[in-house]
Amino acid sequence: MGASLRDRVAIVGAGCTPHRQWWDKSGDDLLVEACWEAFEDAGIGPKDIQAAWLGGGITGQTLAHALQLDFIPVTKVDNWCATGGDVIRNAAMAVAGGFYDIVLATGFSKSDSLALRGNIWQGGSSGTWLHGQNVTFAGPAGGTFATFVPRYMHHYGVSYEDAKRGLGAIAVKNYANGALNPKAFLRKAVTMEEYLNAPMLTWPLSLHDTCSMPDGAAALILTTPEIARKLRPDYVLLKGLGMTVGTKQGQLDTGYDWVHFPEAVLAGRQAYEMAGIKTPLKELDLACVHDAFTVVELVIYEDLGWAPRGQGYKYVQEGVFDRVEGELAVNPNGGLKSFGHGGGGSGIHKAYEVYKQLQGKAGERQVKNASLGLSHDQGGYPGTYTVVIDIWGTRD
């Protein structure tokens, strides 16, 4: 690889809207809210921003108009569900390359169509689930991602009951974490019994196996470590970054095993090498991963070296990835399952969570003594993906 980005880029400000069904807010409104939280966090204003990158919208003008930016370059990035991570990557490389001193990385998702949303929890703590053929994310993508579950069972000799309880442990964990997050969409704990009895959507994935898709926005302000030291004492540094894009080999190669994402494996290796990580399960304190479906999180455990092949479903049931007592807190913000999948902003709201955790400002969901965290963003469909992995730390 080329030059390393390690310790050359810092987050000094971050913002994130609550993720909700914002019928009374536009995408511009959400961007303004997230970006201004980031400006106030960093102690700067929009006139200090020299360039910006946006996930979501039609062009970069969406952001320029919303914030009334002063003729600075604004670039729209689009890379399926990995858009947010790629926004961060592009902004970070511009800073590390010396082209700009202070930049904005932001993204959002806004839809007024119920058919494009995920699981809907209607009516607060005493409400009911709304679900149907076109309501959940399982509609457009679940049928193909569901392929990973029976293939995993066959490949590793795992029973249906054991596999479902492993996936259920992921859902229960993420719901419990999201219930502690005031910005999460689905703030409701779900028991294993409720998970197992949920309506089937795309066998063997049921209602609680797929993510929610509300409206929301997130933003990061990136700069050099030298400038960061002048702005705040608790800035967070980029330690490692990896990105890969598939070439449809999974759809063409009859040897594709459907139990791992090669793009995630390679991106993880790149990020670990840059960050100097040798034993990720021991060295990382938390991770926010792309759990668009519970089986994606399961496979990521193994692809990123946190569990041996065919053992991830056991590890999660044993509490290895629990927020409080686990070895590695995975999705302490609730994940896409509970917090919500924000399309263009998902990778950014994951990095927002890592940033807050490393600062010790995550409230009830705080991971104890967190100093190194990972953000994983993934987009595409089975057989070909884009994966972006960032690793953030608190020490120069």
- Using one digit for the tens of pLDDT, what is the confidence trace for 254-290? 889 999 999 999 999 999 999 999 999 999 999 999 9
Give counts: helices (H), strands (E), the chain.
Answer: 15, 14
Domain tally, the chain: 1
Q: What is the pLDDT of residue 144?
A: 79
The yes-or-no verdict on residue 119 having pLDDT over 70 is no
Do the domain assignments include residue 78?
A: yes
Per-residue pLDDT tens over the stretch 184-222? 999 999 999 999 999 998 899 999 999 989 999 999 999
Query: What are the percentages of helix, strand and coil residues in the chain, rounded to 5?
Result: 40, 20, 40
Q: What share of the chain has pLDDT > 70, as a percent?
A: 91
User: Partners of 55 in the beta sheet?
Assistant: 77, 107
The yes-or-no verdict on residue 132 having pLDDT over 70 is no
CA 6: distance to chain centroid?
21
Per annotation, catalytic residue among 208, 341, 349, 376? 341
Per annotation, catalytic residue among 16, 35, 81, 211? 81
Do the domain assignments include residue 74?
A: yes
Do the domain assignments include residue 331?
A: no
- Torsion on CA atoms 224, 228, 229, 230, rounded to nearest 10: 110
Token duo for residue 128: 């009911």
Please say whether the beta carbons of 16 and 37 come within 8 A: yes
Do the domain assignments include residue 353?
A: no
Per-residue pLDDT tens over the stretch 227-254? 999 999 999 999 999 999 999 988 888 8
User: Partners of 229 in the beta sheet?
Assistant: none
CA angle 186, 188, 190 (to 5 degrees): 115
Which contiguous run of DSSP H or E holds residue 378? strand 372-381
Query: Cα(170)–Cα(330) distance, rounded to whole angstroms?
Result: 9
Do the domain assignments include residue 317?
A: no
Token duo for residue 299: 């496979």
Please say whether the beta carbons of 280 and 303 come within 8 A: no
Do the domain assignments include residue 55?
A: yes
Reference 34, options 108, 91, 117; nearest CA is 108
Do the domain assignments include residue 88?
A: yes
The yes-or-no verdict on residue 75 having pLDDT over 70 is yes
Averaged pLDDT of the chain = 92
What residues make up the domain containing 37?
10-112+214-223
Query: Cα(200)–Cα(333) distance, rounded to whole angstroms?
Result: 26
Per-residue pLDDT tens over the stretch 89-101? 999 999 999 999 9
| Residue 341 bears catalytic tag | yes
Q: What is the CATH number of the domain that holds 79?
A: 3.40.47.10
The yes-or-no verdict on residue 374 having pLDDT over 60 is yes
**Helix crossing, 294-303 with 148-156: angle to 10°?**
50
Sign of CA dihedral 361, 364, 365, 371: positive
Do the domain assignments include residue 153?
A: no
User: Partners of 219 in the beta sheet?
Assistant: 15, 106
